[in-house]
Amino acid sequence: MIRRLTLLVTLLCVHAFASAVNYLTFTAEEENSSFGIATVGNMSPDIQYSLDDGQTWVQLRVGDAVTLKQVGDKALLRGNHPYGFSSSPNSYANFTMTGSIAASGSVMSLITDEGECDKIPSVYCFYQLFYDCASLTQAPELPATELAARCYMSMFWNCTRLTKAPALPATKMVTSCYDGIFMGCTALTQAPELPAMDLADGCYGGMFDGCTALTQAPELPATDLPIYCYVLMFTGCTSLTQAPELPATELSEGCYYGMFNGCASLTQAPELHNTDVRADSCCNRMFDGCSNLSLIKVNFTEWTRWTRAWVSGVAPTGTFVCPKSLAEEYGENRIPEGWRVVEPEEWTSTRSVDAAHCDIWSEGLSIFVRNAEGLVAVYNLNGQLLRTAQCAADETVRFAVPAEDVYVVKTSRKSVEVAVGM
């Protein structure tokens, strides 16, 4: 009897400990989902998994395929890697998956068994950890507040079913720490908050590259920009309609290079408050391929070669707001061809006048509404609602329509019929 009680108490204690530890956890969302581990180079990961809530642990060997047979089945994972999980692009480990799996718990349980560490121990620590895991539907927690260079680089690259990014609580960046972390996450609709004021070289480089479902960017409050800190950050985000404010006044080499490259739904650029754009390549290709961009406001007073191809492929007409002292030069390296130029004072004084009306027009299979100040709705002639959006003062909103036809556009001020492609 005493032995049975002792065994029962031991099992209960093990179960309670496992429940208390915030292990990295994989939960099946489809029957017979599976996971494994693969390596590149001389990496030899020390990982164990438990399918019985931490009562027994099994070594996860390279090439193993652990099957979660039923929906809701879980695997807890732990590891012992006090010097880092991976060490370089030539020596790293990454998970493989099939089916549909939601991750939860702390990724730091791969570093220490208890998962309590809040410091990333090495460069490239979680490099490509979930690379190409198209079965991953939810990211685990990334609770570390002290980062290391390139620690999360390409961590969720091509996780095409990931819709929400995990919280990123660190406020002090290090070199390339988030470089490409969500690259190719084409279903990502919700970006994490990025409150850091202390940035580092390349820290957000390519962070959301190719996230075609992302419509709104996170706030970027930093005013001191290291080199290439925002390089290619939103490149290929074709659904992005709202850019973040960019409050910096002094720029560094390549800091905005290609930042919004290919953001075809962006209609209004963030105001560039900077007074000096001499920093090497700072604005090169910044709005390259933003085919619906029709408003840019800048405060610099002279052109340099560091705006190379920065407005290549923007909308054929638009408004460029700039100081009078800025030379009125046109082309993809200067003011977009076909745009009107106004001074900041003139822009400010005309905004209240412009607010008295809104403009509605069509191009291709798109309807554009500018300055509607409120809800805009697009209907077909049968009265079926097709699209809605909120439109702010001085903002241009694009509505894609399915075919050449006549559509009804309703704003708070008027209702008009618009012929598209006819």
Burial 312-339 (b: 16+ CB within 10 A, else e): bbbbeebbbbbeeebeeeeebbbbbeeb
What CATH number was assigned to the domain covering residues 358-420?
2.60.40
pTM, full prediction: 0.80
Q: How far is residue 404 CA from its own chain's centroid?
A: 33
Residue 2 has φ and ψ, to the nearest 5°, of: -65, -40
CA distance 55 to 49: 10
Six token digits for residue 385: 């609602």
| 82 vs 14: which has the higher pLDDT | 82
Whole-angstrom distance, CA of residue 112 vs CA of residue 77: 11
Average the pLDDT over 407-413 and give the result. Answer: 81
The reported pLDDT for the residue numbered 3 is 52
Give residue 357's pLDDT band: very low, low, confident or very high (50, 70, 90).
low
CB hemisphere CA count around 328 (13 angstroms): 10
Rounded average pLDDT over 347-362 = 58
Residues 103-115 have a mean pLDDT of: 88
pLDDT at 19: 55
pLDDT confidence band for 8 (50 / 70 / 90): very low
If you average pLDDT over every residue of the chain, what do you get? 89
Q: What is the DSSP string of 107-126?
A: GGGGTSTT----B--STTTT
Dihedrals φ, ψ of 268, to 5°? -135, 130
Q: In this predicted structure, which of 20-29, 174-183, 359-368 has the lowest mean pLDDT? A: 359-368
**Is pLDDT of 416 > 90?**
no
- What CATH number should be reported for the domain whose range is 163-354? 3.80.10
Helix (H), strand (E) at residue 11: helix 2-20
Residue 7: the pLDDT is 42
Alpha-carbon span 178 to 234, nearest angstrom:
13
Please give the Cα distance from 77 to 55 (Å, whole number).
12
The per-residue pLDDT for range 242-301, each reduced to its tens digit, is 899 999 988 899 999 999 999 999 988 999 987 655 578 899 999 999 999 989 999 988
The answer to which of 117-131, 259-273, 326-340, 372-386 has the lowest mean pLDDT is: 372-386
| pLDDT tier at 351, thresholds 50, 70, 90 | very low
Domains 163-354 and 358-420 share a fold: no
Q: Where are the domains of the chain?
A: 1-117+130-144, 163-354, 358-420
Task: Give per-residue pLDDT as tens, 127-164.
Answer: 999 999 999 999 999 999 999 999 999 999 999 999 99
**What is residue 11's predicted lDDT score, i.e. its pLDDT?**
41
Classify 302 as helix, strand or coil.
Answer: coil
DSSP 46-96: -EEEESSTTSS-EE--TT--EEE-STT-EEEEEE--TT-S--BTTBEEEEE
Indicate if the alpha-carbon torsion angle 128, 133, 134, 140 is positive or negative: negative
* pLDDT for residue 74 is more than 90: yes
pLDDT of residue 275: 61
